A and B are shown apart, each in its own frame.
Chain A
């Protein structure tokens, strides 16, 4: 296949398969950290349900696709500082998701990831 060697544009929604969504929405620490950023929803549902619902909802998936495209266009580099991911600036500028992911993990281990405000 002639396309095999070429970089493909990755949609980060691809990482959220059923298994990933299940494990994310049952991770109580993650739930706490994501709760403030969830869209408004039926307040009688628990956070786990709301996260699961959000991750599988079209508006979120559209946003994540759009983020993926933006990331791979290399145009997000300048935003990294603002997003508290200054260490991923160069990686984001390269427009490669895996390079970006590695940079974030390195930053996380070094403890330089800023919390969202």
Chain B
């Protein structure tokens, strides 16, 4: 949650899947990425599987009703109380990662050690030790929104209070992990397909907001697509080689039936490889786009602005344009 007092030196970060993915990488975790969900349609979830957890961002309102029951003994679950403002983004992501046992996900040395070290702590102590981890804070803060100037008395436009919570499946049950609550919230049994269980909960949460008011955002922590596709391709390639070997040993005239069967299999594997290759290219293009967006976000625009103003001044158009801007602004302000 974002309060304006001090914020314990944790900056606010944007709820952008690209930033979350980088954040996770910064913690040393491998094998995961974050994707934004634009709807709760089944297909949306389907193409992201396996999904390790969901991070839900919403406008925080006091006195919201809690669905589900509070877990008293939460030792089986990694739950930490949020003791620092603004840290909720990092905390929600960590809640997913620290509870994840999927083979694709490698926590990395830093988080693994942290998890071990704080295993016997209660939620408050875990939250405190989390907020005291300098490395985690540094990584979190490196994703601050860029500010070109620091002002002495800049009017800190009060940010609305947004809050992140995590939904994760743990040992066949669905939990909501909200660092502002006293413990994990048990949302009942869920099978392997835990998305089916979480969907109605998210739906009712979203509809509780006035229609037209987009005040929430949903992100999924999923396996690293590129890594997965590359592993798939490797497997398919070895399948293909096997089939080639078998085919070469076959006497096509005698074993026509076996030959056709193998040929068929071969074609299927080839098709799968094409599809995987295509997806890999899509993923690589996306990463390139992210990289460019990142560079644009981090670019220092001051020299360009200064140059633009100088050029306009030399062309004798600057006064005219600023006057126009001023008039427009007055019209907006007066309206």
- Interface residues, chain A, with chain B CB atoms under 8 Å away: 1, 3-4, 8-15, 20, 24, 30, 33-34, 37-42, 54, 57, 59-60, 62-64, 66-67, 69-70, 73, 75, 83-85, 97-98, 100-102, 104-105, 107-109, 113, 115-116
Contact = CB atoms under 8 A, between A and B. Distances in A.
A101 B148 contact: no
B307 A60 contact: no
Contact of B292 (A41, A62, A101): A41
A60 B310 contact: no
Determine chain A's interface SS by DSSP, over half rule.
helix
A84 B323 CA distance: 23
Interface in B301-335: 301-311, 313-316, 318-319, 321-326, 328-330, 333-334
Chain B interface residue bracket vs A:
35 or more
Contacts of B154: 69
Contacts of B305: 63-64, 67
Given A63-B148, A85-B306, A101-B322, A42 B329 contact: no
B38 interface: no
A85 B310 contact: yes
Contacts of B147: 66
Given A9-B329, A12-B322, A14-B329, A59 B306 contact: no
B313 to A, nearest CB: 4
Interface string B141-174: 0000011110110100000000000000000000
Nearest to A34: B307
Contacts of B311: 30, 33-34
A112 B252 CA distance: 86
- Grouping DSSP codes into helix (H, G, I), strand (E, B) and loop, the B interface class, with mixed when no group exceeds half, is helix
B297 interface: yes
A8 B333 CA distance: 8
Contacts of B326: 8, 10, 14, 97-98
A15 B333 contact: no
Contact of A3 (B297, B304, B323, B333): B333
B253 interface: no
B322 A59 contact: no
Contacts of A60: 301, 304
A33 B307 contact: yes
Contact of B313 (A11, A34, A101): A101
A101 B322 CA distance: 7
Given A15-B321, A37-B304, A98-B319, A108 B310 contact: yes
Interface string B108-124: 00000000000000000
